[in-house]
Structures are given as C-alpha cells and as structure tokens.
Amino acid sequence: MAMGTREPGQIPMFLTPDQLPEAPTAPFFDKLNELLAQMGFDAYVEQLCRPFYAERMGRPSLAPGVYFRLLLLGYLLGIDSERGIALTVADSLGLRRFLGYELQQSPPDHSTLSRTRRRISLETHEQVFAWVLQRLREAGLADGRTVAVDATMLFANAALRTLRRKDSQARCREFVEGLAAAAGVPTPTLTELAAFDRKRKGKTLSNPEWESPTDPDARVAKMKAGTTHLAPKAEHAVDLESGALVGVTLQAADQGDSATLGTTLEAVETAPGEGPEQVVADKGYHSDRVLLGLEEAGQAAHIPEPRRGGGGGGGGGGHAAGGAGFRGEAGNGAGGAGQPGACGESGRQAPAEAADGEGRAVDGPPVRDWRDAGGGPGGGGGRRRSGGRGPTCTRGVGCGGCTSGGGRTAASGCWYKPADSTWEC
C-alpha cells in the first residue's frame, strides 16, 4: 500500500449530531454508577460535605459525588497523583460519562481536585470509606473476618537536603559548615564542604536528631531499592475473601511492622463491636509480643517465623540464677539470669534481655560435660528468645552447690550429670 502523509487539518466550525464521537462502552463503570445510584451515594456525600461549602454564595464547585468518584478512579486505575487523574479523565469519553459530564462540559482541573481535597476533612473521608464498606458487608462481599496486613514505604514530598537539626534548627549545610569551622576550615567552598562531609566520621541522618520542616511526619528510611529517602509508611488490611481494603493507617517509617500492627487492626472496619478473627502477615510482623497480643484478643495468627541464629542465654539452674549458658554459633542474644528455684525443682526460665525484646522460653540442648558451657542445658534459641529451664537438683533443701546455672566450681562442689539432666552435690 502507499504511505500516507500527516497534514494539519482545519477544525470544523459546525458539527452535526451524527458527527459527534460516542463514548465507548464501559460495562464495569456503568454497573458501578448504577449501584451507587441505587444506594443513594450522591445524596449521602452531599449531606456529609455540606458544612465545607458556602450556603448561598460562592464560585461553582466540584460536586462531592464527582470528587469521590475521581478518587475512586485513581484507586481502580492505579493512578497515584491528582494530575494523573485529571489528565486521564480529560482524555477519556467513557470516564467523562462515569462522572456525569457531557461533551460540551470541561472536566475538572487537578487544582480544583486539590482544593476540594484540602477543604474536606480527613474524618469525612473516613466516614465515606466506612459507608462503602458497610454497603459491601450488606451485600455479603466483605466481612473482615480474615484479613491480610502488609506495609509499604511511600515517597514523601520532601527532600533530604531540607532536613533541620531538632536541637538547633540548623539546616544540613549550616550544620556541616559549623563542623568544618571547628575543624579548622573556616570558609570552605562547596567542593571542599562536600569532601569534608563525605569523609567526616560519625555521619548519620538519624530520626531522633533530624526532622523535615515541610513534612514533620516523614522519617529517614531505606526504601526497597536500597536508596535512602524521607518517607511515611502506609499499612493496609485487606479482606482475603473479597480483596476489599478494610483498613488503612499511616505510620512513621522508623517504626517496625510488629510495633504498628495493633493500630492497623484497630482501624479495620468490621461489624460494630467485632474485629478480625484471623490475621495473616509476613515474617516481618513476627514477634512474641504480637503473637501474645493476638492470642489474648482471640485472633488466630498466621505469621511465619523468621529464620534466626541458634544459641542464646543460659537458663535457670537448679537452686540459684542461671549463668551464660550454652551458646550456638550464630546466636547473639544472651538470655537473662534465671530465677532461682527450690532444690529438687527446675529453675524458672530466664527472661530475655531488653535489647532483644521479649522472648518465650525454649529449652536448649544438654551439653556433654560441665566444661563445655557454664549453663547446663538451659540455652535459648537465638535472638528474642529467653533461656529455657535449668536442670533439677538431686539434693534436698539446703543444697548450696547448685549455683550460677551449673558448671563445677571449687566453692560449690556441685557438678552436672548429662545422663539424667540432674545436679549432684
């Protein structure tokens, strides 16, 4: 075939009705609009947002029903910016029909969308979110009984170079200039200042010392790609049966997943007075505190345990407190001292060190001889684990030899018998 050429055309002055473009059929959005109309969505959000608008006078505004439909489009189409939402709507006849715009009407600009979002309170957005979930529950599509929780880092609209010191409110450059002056470089050039900052010892951007003046909620965090940025952490709870989003919270990026799980579960929208029955999460949420909290709340936890190093601290030994104990190759969390038990009883499990968090007792393997380790069989199972129970003393009351978690000492005259896991004094 012959190649065609593109030539600039002249815009016609008049169009007949049969020349107007028709919006392509969009069954999903047509059905969604039909359901929203049946549930009275527009009347509900207009009544809810009435306090944020002038009663009689004012410039024409973006209708609340259109505003929330625009946010819904951003979620359904995966558009994460208001400019992107406005551009997509302006370029699509089908989405214009979903919003209720005719061909001669201009779709809303991104600035109108931004002003409307700032005008309507966060609590109102949460009420609309809860209303939608309530309609889903009434239709049997989302009960929130089994939820999966996960978090992701979001890029904050703030730059690292704008950080300020919390104590002196000095910017990063001012702070480095002060350090350079103290080091004998009174007026460094930008090149010299960058070289000094790159080589200085103890260079950190820790959240306890630095903050963003434009976004105080943002924290210095490492993203999945390995880069460092200012970011908040968004945590989502999803109903596994329907895929509906039933809870969203915004957390500080320097908080661990196990520390923020409880807040997100409290935000899950279920039936009044009820909460999730089963919680699914990845290994980043695993901790003894989380598991115990879910157990106390009557919620079944489906959280895999991360692979940890072996070893740990010594458990309680017979009559007195446990010592260092058997230590594995990769273990780095020494268990605390075991609580003393009466002779003839096992010593109580050793509490975990504060630096390693709360751990539950795990009995360690017995050692072959008292020379191998000072703590007998009372060893924990790695980080966040406390020591297990110590061995049993074979003597009656007054046995003073079972000391410091075992091991034969000249002062005690007590030694450990690995054959029957007892002490003989």
Fold of 146-154+228-302: Nucleotidyltransferase; domain 5 (3.30.420)
Angstrom distance (rounded) from CA 37 to CA 287: 46
DSSP H helical ranges for 210-275: 257-266
| pLDDT at 329 (0 to 100) | 31
DSSP H helical ranges for 139-223: 172-182, 190-199
Q: Are 195 and 209 in contact (CB under 8 A)?
A: no
* pTM for the predicted model, two decimal places: 0.61
The list of the chain residues with pLDDT below 70 reads 1, 19, 23, 269-273, 309-425
What is the CA angle 364-378-424, rounded to 5?
125
Angstrom distance (rounded) from CA 365 to CA 379: 7
| pLDDT at 208 (0 to 100) | 84
| pLDDT at 241 (0 to 100) | 86
Q: How far is CA 239 from CA 72, 190, 233, 290, 297, in A?
A: 18, 53, 20, 20, 19
What radius of gyration, in Å, describes the C-alpha atoms of the chain?
A: 32
| pLDDT at 416 (0 to 100) | 53
| pLDDT at 163 (0 to 100) | 87
Query: What are the domain boundaries of the chain?
Result: 25-120, 146-154+228-302, 160-222, 307-425
Per residue in 297-321, pLDDT (tens digit) is 899 999 998 887 544 444 443 333 3
Angstrom distance (rounded) from CA 28 to CA 150: 28
| pLDDT at 109 (0 to 100) | 92
